[in-house]
């Protein structure tokens, strides 16, 4: 059995990770749960999973008697303190934004593996984080669906050189809107993601394509790949989660219906796979899969970076 700290337990990634824990009680124990300010949600999770340690960044007015059995930490450094106290084997880092960098950094000191769902930790400190992980021999297992797909495809690498990584992109809620309509989009508009069920921040970032720019930077650090060898491909169906092209022209792709429990479960169970009632891909119902080049005019986070090896393809990198 592996103990796991779920950092950001009340968010979308955290709750789906806990669904995997619930399905495999003989394999995992969530011995540390943390959240930012959703105290009532965290209290309920503590009741269900009975961790040894729990933490809230925002201290609540009252701690119910029935959740006082575990060790509690509060305040801005509560997550780091909880990690130190829990000594979990794995840390699922799903805290939103740069706030998660401290936790990733500390997890590399106290855990055996880091399951990374916090891309900002690599966007802001990628060189330092990856160097520390390498020095300590700590695996960094990606949880983002695109990076998990690349990681899975690279299992077949066998030492062969990679020509490029292809990050697929659903296009977000505004993918077919013109510039004027995008300018007047409402919060409700940008939160209406066509394929994925995610938290609010990442859904908004997907609509603007900012998230894809961050993912290019994340892929650069995770896979030690120069930006000019990372392409973005708009793929509305979100069935191909990303691809790897090798020097002989062969392309390996990881496919599956959109469900974050897939990449979460793969990271948790690596190198094994954890069934979770995933919906199978119905290729006959799909009929076709579509691909488009990113539009840097409507979505300037991704802008053209010059000619690629083939005139039929344009290479894109984040202008961040």
Best CA proximity match to 260, nearest among 199, 216, 194, 211:
199
In angstroms, the CA 214 to CA 29 distance is: 31
In angstroms, the CA 245 to CA 183 distance is: 36
Neighbour count for residue 128 (Cβ, 10 Å): 14
DSSP 47-108: HHH--SEEEESS--S---GGGTTSEEEESTTHHHHHHHHH--SEEEE---SGGGHHHHHHHH
pLDDT of residue 3: 98
pLDDT of residue 189: 83
Alpha helices, DSSP H, located in 278-318:
283-286
Task: Tabulate helix, strand, coil % of the chain (nearest 5).
Answer: 40, 20, 40
| Sheet architecture: strand order including 230-234 | 230-234, 162-169, 240-246, 251-255
6 DSSP β-pair partners: 33, 92
Best CA proximity match to 230, nearest among 248, 241, 247, 218:
218
Best CA proximity match to 38, nearest among 207, 199, 222, 258:
199
pLDDT of residue 197: 64
Per-residue pLDDT in tens (0 to 9) along the chain, 320 residues: 999 999 999 999 999 999 999 999 999 999 999 999 999 999 999 999 999 999 999 999 999 999 999 999 999 999 999 999 999 999 999 998 898 999 999 999 999 999 999 999 999 999 999 999 999 999 999 999 999 999 999 999 999 999 999 999 887 777 778 888 878 888 888 887 777 666 677 777 777 778 888 999 999 999 999 999 999 999 999 999 999 999 999 999 999 999 999 999 999 999 999 999 999 999 999 999 999 998 877 877 776 543 333 334 444 444 33
2-142 CATH pick, 3.40.1010.10, 3.40.1360.10, 3.40.30.10, 3.40.50.720: 3.40.50.720
Residues of the chain with CATH 3.40.50.720: 2-142
Q: Could you identify the residue written with the tokens 């119902």?
A: 285
pLDDT of residue 310: 38
* C-alpha to C-alpha distances, 223 to 102, 130, 229, 317, nearest whole angstrom: 21, 10, 11, 16
DSSP 202-217: HHHHHHHTHHHHHHHH
**Cβ contact 114:139 at 8 Å:** yes
pLDDT of residue 37: 93
The dihedral sign for the CA sequence 290, 296, 302, 308 = positive
* C-alpha to C-alpha distances, 196 to 20, 112, 207, 227, 279, nearest whole angstrom: 18, 30, 12, 26, 14
**Cβ contact 296:242 at 8 Å:** no
Helices 12-23 & 261-269 angle (0-180, nearest 10)? 60
In angstroms, the CA 62 to CA 51 distance is: 19
In angstroms, the CA 240 to CA 1 distance is: 32
In terms of DSSP bridges, do strands 251-255 and 240-246 run parallel, antiparallel, or are they unpaired? antiparallel
**Cβ contact 11:94 at 8 Å:** yes
In angstroms, the CA 244 to CA 150 distance is: 6
């Amino acid at each position: 059995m592996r103990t796991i700290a779920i950092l950001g337990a009340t968010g979308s990634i955290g709750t789906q990770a806990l669904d995997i824990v619930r399905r495999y009680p003989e394999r995992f124990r969530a011995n540390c749960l943390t959240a930012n300010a959703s105290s009532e949600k965290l209290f309920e999770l503590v009741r269900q999973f009975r961790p040894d340690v729990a933490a809230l960044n925002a201290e609540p007015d009252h701690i119910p008697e029935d959740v006082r059995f575990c060790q509690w930490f509060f305040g801005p450094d509560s997550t780091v303190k909880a990690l130190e106290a829990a000594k979990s084997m794995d840390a699922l880092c799903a805290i939103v934004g740069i706030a998660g960098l401290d936790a990733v950094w500390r997890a590399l000191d106290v855990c055996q593996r880091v399951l990374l769902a916090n891309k900002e930790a690599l966007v802001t400190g990628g060189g330092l984080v990856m160097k520390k992980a390498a020095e300590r021999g700590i695996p960094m297992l990606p949880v983002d669906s695109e990076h998990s797909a690349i990681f899975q495809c690279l299992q077949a690498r066998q030492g062969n050189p990679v020509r490029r990584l292809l990050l697929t992109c659903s296009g977000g809620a505004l993918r077919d809107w013109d510039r004027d309509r995008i300018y007047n989009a409402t919060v409700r508009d940008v939160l209406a993601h066509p394929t994925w069920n995610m938290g609010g921040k990442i859904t908004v970032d997907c609509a603007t394509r900012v998230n894809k720019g961050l993912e290019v930077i994340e892929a650069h650090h995770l896979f030690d790949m120069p930006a000019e060898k990372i392409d973005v491909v708009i793929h509305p169906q979100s069935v191909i989660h990303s691809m790897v092209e090798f020097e002989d022209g062969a392309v390996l792709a990881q496919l599956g219906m959109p469900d974050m429990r897939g990449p979460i479960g793969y990271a948790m169970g690596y190198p094994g796979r954890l069934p979770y009632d995933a919906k199978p891909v119905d290729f006959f119902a799909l009929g076709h899969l579509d691909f488009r080049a990113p539009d840097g005019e409507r979505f300037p986070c991704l802008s053209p970076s010059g000619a690629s090896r083939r005139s039929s393809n344009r290479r894109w990198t984040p202008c961040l």
